[in-house]
Structure 1
Amino acid sequence: MHAVEPRFEVEDDAAPLDMLMALFGARGWPCEANAEEICGEIQGSWAKYQLRGVWRGEDRVLQILCLPDVRIAPEKLAAAHELVALANEQMWLGHFDVWSNGGVLLYRNGTLLGNDGMLSLDQAQSLVEIAVEECDRFYPAFQFVLWGDKSPQDALKSAMVDAAGEA
Protein backbone atom coordinates (compact mmCIF):
# COMPACT_ATOMS: atom_id res chain seq x y z
CA MET A 1 0.00 0.00 0.00
CA HIS A 2 1.05 3.58 -0.49
CA ALA A 3 -0.17 6.97 0.61
CA VAL A 4 -2.34 8.61 -1.99
CA GLU A 5 -4.04 11.95 -2.45
CA PRO A 6 -7.80 12.18 -2.98
CA ARG A 7 -8.75 12.92 -6.57
CA PHE A 8 -11.98 14.91 -6.14
CA GLU A 9 -13.96 17.32 -3.99
CA VAL A 10 -15.45 15.63 -0.92
CA GLU A 11 -18.87 17.22 -1.46
CA ASP A 12 -19.54 14.84 -4.38
CA ASP A 13 -20.47 11.17 -4.21
CA ALA A 14 -17.43 9.15 -5.17
CA ALA A 15 -15.98 5.70 -5.44
CA PRO A 16 -15.94 4.28 -1.90
CA LEU A 17 -12.18 4.19 -1.37
CA ASP A 18 -11.74 7.65 -2.87
CA MET A 19 -14.36 9.01 -0.49
CA LEU A 20 -12.71 7.31 2.49
CA MET A 21 -9.32 8.72 1.42
CA ALA A 22 -10.81 12.20 1.25
CA LEU A 23 -12.41 11.77 4.69
CA PHE A 24 -9.15 10.55 6.20
CA GLY A 25 -7.30 13.44 4.57
CA ALA A 26 -9.81 16.01 5.82
CA ARG A 27 -9.50 14.68 9.36
CA GLY A 28 -5.71 14.48 9.22
CA TRP A 29 -5.69 10.71 9.72
CA PRO A 30 -2.77 8.94 8.08
CA CYS A 31 -3.75 6.29 5.56
CA GLU A 32 -2.47 4.08 2.79
CA ALA A 33 -4.48 2.65 -0.07
CA ASN A 34 -4.47 0.48 -3.14
CA ALA A 35 -7.24 -0.34 -5.63
CA GLU A 36 -9.18 -2.60 -3.22
CA GLU A 37 -8.35 -1.37 0.27
CA ILE A 38 -7.61 1.65 2.44
CA CYS A 39 -5.95 1.34 5.82
CA GLY A 40 -5.50 4.05 8.41
CA GLU A 41 -5.25 4.72 12.09
CA ILE A 42 -7.81 6.58 14.20
CA GLN A 43 -7.58 7.62 17.84
CA GLY A 44 -10.59 6.39 19.80
CA SER A 45 -11.49 7.14 23.40
CA TRP A 46 -9.57 4.14 24.75
CA ALA A 47 -6.96 3.30 22.14
CA LYS A 48 -5.81 3.82 18.57
CA TYR A 49 -7.76 1.71 16.13
CA GLN A 50 -6.68 0.41 12.77
CA LEU A 51 -9.50 1.12 10.32
CA ARG A 52 -9.73 -0.65 6.99
CA GLY A 53 -12.11 -0.19 4.12
CA VAL A 54 -12.23 -3.09 1.68
CA TRP A 55 -14.09 -2.65 -1.61
CA ARG A 56 -15.54 -5.53 -3.63
CA GLY A 57 -16.63 -3.84 -6.82
CA GLU A 58 -18.19 -6.92 -8.38
CA ASP A 59 -20.64 -7.10 -5.44
CA ARG A 60 -20.75 -3.33 -4.71
CA VAL A 61 -19.95 -4.06 -1.06
CA LEU A 62 -17.81 -1.87 1.15
CA GLN A 63 -16.59 -3.63 4.25
CA ILE A 64 -15.37 -1.54 7.18
CA LEU A 65 -13.08 -3.26 9.65
CA CYS A 66 -12.00 -1.63 12.89
CA LEU A 67 -9.30 -3.39 14.89
CA PRO A 68 -8.77 -2.20 18.47
CA ASP A 69 -5.38 -3.98 18.82
CA VAL A 70 -6.79 -6.57 21.21
CA ARG A 71 -5.22 -10.00 20.91
CA ILE A 72 -6.89 -12.82 22.76
CA ALA A 73 -4.78 -15.46 24.47
CA PRO A 74 -5.88 -19.05 23.79
CA GLU A 75 -6.99 -19.55 27.40
CA LYS A 76 -9.33 -16.52 27.12
CA LEU A 77 -10.93 -17.46 23.78
CA ALA A 78 -14.08 -19.06 25.24
CA ALA A 79 -14.82 -16.03 27.43
CA ALA A 80 -14.03 -13.64 24.55
CA HIS A 81 -16.38 -15.50 22.20
CA GLU A 82 -19.12 -15.35 24.83
CA LEU A 83 -18.57 -11.61 25.25
CA VAL A 84 -18.64 -11.13 21.47
CA ALA A 85 -22.02 -12.89 21.34
CA LEU A 86 -23.39 -10.74 24.19
CA ALA A 87 -22.07 -7.52 22.64
CA ASN A 88 -23.44 -8.40 19.20
CA GLU A 89 -26.93 -8.78 20.69
CA GLN A 90 -26.82 -5.06 21.53
CA MET A 91 -25.67 -3.82 18.14
CA TRP A 92 -27.82 -2.57 15.25
CA LEU A 93 -25.08 -2.23 12.66
CA GLY A 94 -22.03 -4.39 12.26
CA HIS A 95 -20.72 -7.02 14.62
CA PHE A 96 -17.63 -8.12 16.51
CA ASP A 97 -15.59 -11.13 15.50
CA VAL A 98 -12.48 -12.91 16.67
CA TRP A 99 -10.25 -13.91 13.79
CA SER A 100 -9.28 -17.54 14.18
CA ASN A 101 -5.84 -16.74 12.81
CA GLY A 102 -4.11 -14.91 15.65
CA GLY A 103 -7.05 -14.33 17.99
CA VAL A 104 -7.52 -10.70 16.89
CA LEU A 105 -10.68 -8.85 17.92
CA LEU A 106 -12.34 -6.79 15.20
CA TYR A 107 -15.49 -4.90 14.39
CA ARG A 108 -16.91 -5.58 10.92
CA ASN A 109 -19.67 -3.91 8.93
CA GLY A 110 -20.54 -4.66 5.31
CA THR A 111 -22.50 -2.07 3.34
CA LEU A 112 -24.17 -2.82 0.03
CA LEU A 113 -23.98 0.29 -2.14
CA GLY A 114 -26.40 1.16 -4.94
CA ASN A 115 -26.04 0.24 -8.59
CA ASP A 116 -23.62 3.10 -9.18
CA GLY A 117 -21.33 1.85 -6.38
CA MET A 118 -20.85 5.38 -5.07
CA LEU A 119 -20.45 6.50 -1.47
CA SER A 120 -21.55 9.87 -0.10
CA LEU A 121 -19.59 11.88 2.43
CA ASP A 122 -22.40 11.39 4.98
CA GLN A 123 -22.29 7.62 4.49
CA ALA A 124 -18.51 7.54 4.82
CA GLN A 125 -18.57 9.61 8.00
CA SER A 126 -21.34 7.48 9.50
CA LEU A 127 -19.62 4.18 8.72
CA VAL A 128 -16.35 5.34 10.28
CA GLU A 129 -18.02 6.95 13.31
CA ILE A 130 -20.16 3.87 14.00
CA ALA A 131 -17.12 1.59 13.84
CA VAL A 132 -15.11 3.74 16.26
CA GLU A 133 -18.08 4.30 18.60
CA GLU A 134 -18.83 0.57 18.84
CA CYS A 135 -15.18 -0.23 19.53
CA ASP A 136 -15.09 2.50 22.19
CA ARG A 137 -18.34 1.28 23.72
CA PHE A 138 -17.21 -2.33 24.19
CA TYR A 139 -13.44 -1.87 24.63
CA PRO A 140 -13.67 -1.74 28.45
CA ALA A 141 -15.71 -4.95 28.55
CA PHE A 142 -13.03 -6.80 26.58
CA GLN A 143 -10.35 -5.42 28.91
CA PHE A 144 -12.36 -6.57 31.95
CA VAL A 145 -12.56 -10.11 30.53
CA LEU A 146 -9.00 -10.35 29.20
CA TRP A 147 -7.11 -8.56 31.97
CA GLY A 148 -9.54 -8.26 34.89
CA ASP A 149 -10.75 -11.87 34.91
CA LYS A 150 -14.41 -10.81 35.02
CA SER A 151 -17.07 -13.04 33.52
CA PRO A 152 -18.40 -11.85 30.17
CA GLN A 153 -21.75 -10.93 31.75
CA ASP A 154 -20.14 -8.94 34.59
CA ALA A 155 -17.69 -7.27 32.21
CA LEU A 156 -20.49 -6.13 29.93
CA LYS A 157 -22.56 -4.82 32.86
CA SER A 158 -19.57 -2.94 34.28
CA ALA A 159 -18.60 -1.45 30.93
CA MET A 160 -22.14 -0.31 30.15
CA VAL A 161 -22.59 1.31 33.58
CA ASP A 162 -19.24 3.08 33.29
CA ALA A 163 -20.02 4.32 29.78
CA ALA A 164 -23.44 5.57 30.86
CA GLY A 165 -21.85 7.56 33.66
CA GLU A 166 -19.35 9.46 31.47
CA ALA A 167 -19.90 13.17 31.00
Structure 2
Amino acid sequence: MRTVQDDIGHEEDSAPVEMLAALFEARDWPFELASEDEISAEVKGAWATYQFQAIWRPEDHVLQLLCLPDIRVPDNKRAAVYEALALVNEQLWVGHFDVWSNGGVVLYRHGLMLGEDGLLGIDQAQTVVEAAIEECDRFYPVFQFILWGDKTPAEALAAALIDAAGEA
Protein backbone atom coordinates (compact mmCIF):
# COMPACT_ATOMS: atom_id res chain seq x y z
CA MET A 1 0.00 0.00 0.00
CA ARG A 2 1.46 3.37 -1.08
CA THR A 3 1.45 6.23 1.35
CA VAL A 4 1.94 9.95 0.88
CA GLN A 5 5.31 9.37 2.50
CA ASP A 6 6.23 7.05 -0.40
CA ASP A 7 5.14 9.65 -2.94
CA ILE A 8 7.03 12.42 -1.22
CA GLY A 9 10.12 10.45 -0.44
CA HIS A 10 10.47 12.07 2.98
CA GLU A 11 10.86 9.89 6.00
CA GLU A 12 12.55 12.57 8.05
CA ASP A 13 11.45 15.98 9.17
CA SER A 14 12.33 18.91 6.89
CA ALA A 15 12.17 22.67 6.80
CA PRO A 16 8.45 23.56 6.89
CA VAL A 17 8.14 25.16 3.44
CA GLU A 18 10.24 22.40 1.87
CA MET A 19 8.00 19.74 3.42
CA LEU A 20 4.83 21.49 2.25
CA ALA A 21 6.24 21.83 -1.27
CA ALA A 22 6.92 18.08 -1.32
CA LEU A 23 3.40 17.38 -0.06
CA PHE A 24 1.78 19.66 -2.65
CA GLU A 25 3.91 18.18 -5.41
CA ALA A 26 2.96 14.63 -4.39
CA ARG A 27 -0.72 15.59 -4.56
CA ASP A 28 -0.32 17.39 -7.90
CA TRP A 29 -1.54 20.67 -6.41
CA PRO A 30 -0.24 23.74 -8.23
CA PHE A 31 2.04 25.68 -5.90
CA GLU A 32 4.48 28.55 -5.94
CA LEU A 33 7.37 29.36 -3.67
CA ALA A 34 7.32 33.09 -2.95
CA SER A 35 10.52 32.73 -0.89
CA GLU A 36 12.26 30.10 1.20
CA ASP A 37 9.81 31.02 3.98
CA GLU A 38 6.54 31.26 2.02
CA ILE A 39 4.54 28.95 -0.21
CA SER A 40 1.11 29.18 -1.80
CA ALA A 41 -1.00 26.52 -3.48
CA GLU A 42 -4.39 25.98 -5.03
CA VAL A 43 -6.36 23.21 -3.38
CA LYS A 44 -9.66 21.82 -4.65
CA GLY A 45 -12.14 21.50 -1.83
CA ALA A 46 -15.68 20.16 -1.79
CA TRP A 47 -17.24 23.60 -2.40
CA ALA A 48 -14.52 25.68 -4.06
CA THR A 49 -10.87 25.90 -4.95
CA TYR A 50 -9.05 27.33 -1.95
CA GLN A 51 -5.94 29.47 -1.92
CA PHE A 52 -3.62 27.92 0.64
CA GLN A 53 -0.66 29.86 2.01
CA ALA A 54 1.98 29.01 4.57
CA ILE A 55 4.46 31.47 6.02
CA TRP A 56 7.38 30.29 8.16
CA ARG A 57 8.64 32.64 10.86
CA PRO A 58 11.96 31.11 11.91
CA GLU A 59 12.57 33.65 14.68
CA ASP A 60 9.38 32.47 16.43
CA HIS A 61 9.40 28.83 15.21
CA VAL A 62 5.83 29.36 13.97
CA LEU A 63 4.32 28.20 10.69
CA GLN A 64 1.22 30.26 9.88
CA LEU A 65 -1.26 28.47 7.64
CA LEU A 66 -3.97 30.34 5.76
CA CYS A 67 -6.75 28.81 3.71
CA LEU A 68 -8.91 31.24 1.76
CA PRO A 69 -12.22 29.98 0.36
CA ASP A 70 -12.70 33.07 -1.87
CA ILE A 71 -15.61 34.50 0.07
CA ARG A 72 -15.83 38.29 0.06
CA VAL A 73 -18.10 39.93 2.60
CA PRO A 74 -19.92 43.09 1.51
CA ASP A 75 -20.27 45.85 4.10
CA ASN A 76 -24.01 45.24 4.55
CA LYS A 77 -23.35 41.61 5.62
CA ARG A 78 -20.33 42.20 7.89
CA ALA A 79 -22.24 42.19 11.19
CA ALA A 80 -23.96 38.90 10.37
CA VAL A 81 -20.69 37.31 9.22
CA TYR A 82 -18.87 38.47 12.37
CA GLU A 83 -21.62 36.89 14.46
CA ALA A 84 -21.30 33.70 12.40
CA LEU A 85 -17.53 33.70 12.93
CA ALA A 86 -18.06 33.63 16.69
CA LEU A 87 -20.47 30.69 16.36
CA VAL A 88 -18.23 28.83 13.91
CA ASN A 89 -15.06 29.36 15.96
CA GLU A 90 -16.78 27.80 18.99
CA GLN A 91 -16.93 24.58 16.96
CA LEU A 92 -13.18 24.45 16.22
CA TRP A 93 -10.45 22.73 18.21
CA VAL A 94 -7.56 24.21 16.22
CA GLY A 95 -7.33 27.28 14.05
CA HIS A 96 -10.02 29.89 13.57
CA PHE A 97 -11.94 31.75 10.90
CA ASP A 98 -11.54 35.47 10.44
CA VAL A 99 -12.38 38.26 8.02
CA TRP A 100 -9.32 39.95 6.57
CA SER A 101 -9.74 43.68 7.22
CA ASN A 102 -8.22 44.54 3.84
CA GLY A 103 -10.81 43.37 1.30
CA GLY A 104 -13.30 41.64 3.58
CA VAL A 105 -12.12 38.12 2.69
CA VAL A 106 -13.05 35.15 4.89
CA LEU A 107 -10.10 32.94 5.80
CA TYR A 108 -9.13 30.06 8.01
CA ARG A 109 -5.91 30.61 9.97
CA HIS A 110 -3.83 28.34 12.15
CA GLY A 111 -0.45 28.98 13.75
CA LEU A 112 1.60 25.83 14.17
CA MET A 113 4.37 26.07 16.74
CA LEU A 114 7.34 23.92 15.82
CA GLY A 115 10.22 22.98 18.08
CA GLU A 116 13.58 24.69 18.36
CA ASP A 117 14.83 22.72 15.35
CA GLY A 118 12.05 24.27 13.22
CA LEU A 119 11.35 21.03 11.38
CA LEU A 120 8.04 19.66 10.10
CA GLY A 121 7.25 15.99 9.64
CA ILE A 122 5.17 14.60 6.80
CA ASP A 123 2.44 13.31 9.12
CA GLN A 124 2.13 16.69 10.81
CA ALA A 125 2.18 18.56 7.48
CA GLN A 126 -0.50 16.31 6.04
CA THR A 127 -2.65 16.62 9.17
CA VAL A 128 -2.62 20.43 9.35
CA VAL A 129 -3.23 20.89 5.61
CA GLU A 130 -6.10 18.40 5.61
CA ALA A 131 -7.58 19.98 8.75
CA ALA A 132 -7.61 23.43 7.11
CA ILE A 133 -9.32 22.08 3.99
CA GLU A 134 -11.84 20.07 6.01
CA GLU A 135 -12.78 23.08 8.15
CA CYS A 136 -13.20 25.28 5.07
CA ASP A 137 -15.38 22.60 3.49
CA ARG A 138 -17.40 22.13 6.66
CA PHE A 139 -18.17 25.81 7.21
CA TYR A 140 -18.22 27.20 3.65
CA PRO A 141 -22.02 26.75 3.48
CA VAL A 142 -22.51 28.88 6.62
CA PHE A 143 -21.14 31.94 4.88
CA GLN A 144 -23.02 31.18 1.66
CA PHE A 145 -26.32 30.84 3.55
CA ILE A 146 -25.75 34.29 5.07
CA LEU A 147 -24.48 36.00 1.93
CA TRP A 148 -26.86 34.45 -0.60
CA GLY A 149 -29.67 32.86 1.41
CA ASP A 150 -30.30 35.75 3.83
CA LYS A 151 -30.26 33.37 6.79
CA THR A 152 -29.35 34.55 10.27
CA PRO A 153 -25.99 33.31 11.58
CA ALA A 154 -27.68 30.77 13.87
CA GLU A 155 -29.91 29.51 11.03
CA ALA A 156 -26.93 29.31 8.68
CA LEU A 157 -24.84 27.31 11.14
CA ALA A 158 -27.71 24.93 11.93
CA ALA A 159 -28.44 24.40 8.22
CA ALA A 160 -24.79 23.84 7.35
CA LEU A 161 -24.19 21.34 10.14
CA ILE A 162 -27.37 19.41 9.29
CA ASP A 163 -26.38 19.32 5.60
CA ALA A 164 -22.87 18.15 6.48
CA ALA A 165 -24.20 15.45 8.80
CA GLY A 166 -26.47 14.19 6.03
CA GLU A 167 -23.76 13.66 3.41
CA ALA A 168 -22.21 10.26 2.97
Which stretches of structure 1, 4 residues or more, deviate above 6 A after TM superposition?
none
RMSD over equivalenced CA pairs, Å: 0.9
Give how far 1:36 is off.
1.8
Task: Give the letter aligned to residue 97 of structure 1.
Answer: D
TM-score by length of 1: 0.94
Aligned mates of 1:18, 1:66 — CA distance in 2:
18
Task: Give the letter aligned to residue 16 of structure 1.
Answer: P
Aligned mates of 2:121, 2:83 — CA distance in 1:
36
Residue 58 (structure 1) aligns with: 59
Cα shift readout 1:22-54 (whole Å, capped 9, x = no counterpart)? 000000001001122100000000000000011
Give how far 1:160 is off.
0.2
Specify the SS of the correspondent of 1:108: strand
Aligned mates of 2:64, 2:148 — CA distance in 1:
30
Cα shift readout 1:82-121 (whole Å, capped 9, x = no counterpart)? 0011000010000000011100000000011011000000
Task: Give the letter aligned to residue 126 of structure 1.
Answer: T
Task: Give the letter aligned to residue 15 of structure 2.
Answer: A
Task: Give the letter aligned to residue 74 of structure 1.
Answer: D
TM-score by length of 2: 0.94
Unaligned runs of 5+ in 2: 1-7
Aligned mates of 1:54, 1:134 — CA distance in 2:
19
Residue 13 (structure 1) aligns with: 13
Unaligned runs of 5+ in 1: 1-7
Aligned mates of 1:69, 1:139 — CA distance in 2:
10
Cα shift readout 1:125-165 (whole Å, capped 9, x = no counterpart)? 00100000000000011100011000000000000000000
Tell me the percent identity.
61
Specify the SS of the correspondent of 1:41: strand
Aligned mates of 1:52, 1:40 — CA distance in 2:
6
Paired residues of 1:10 and 1:23 also in contact (CA < 8 A): no
Residue 73 (structure 1) aligns with: 74
Paired residues of 1:66 and 1:131 also in contact (CA < 8 A): yes
Residue 30 (structure 2) aligns with: 30
Give the paired residue count: 160
Specify the SS of the correspondent of 1:54: strand
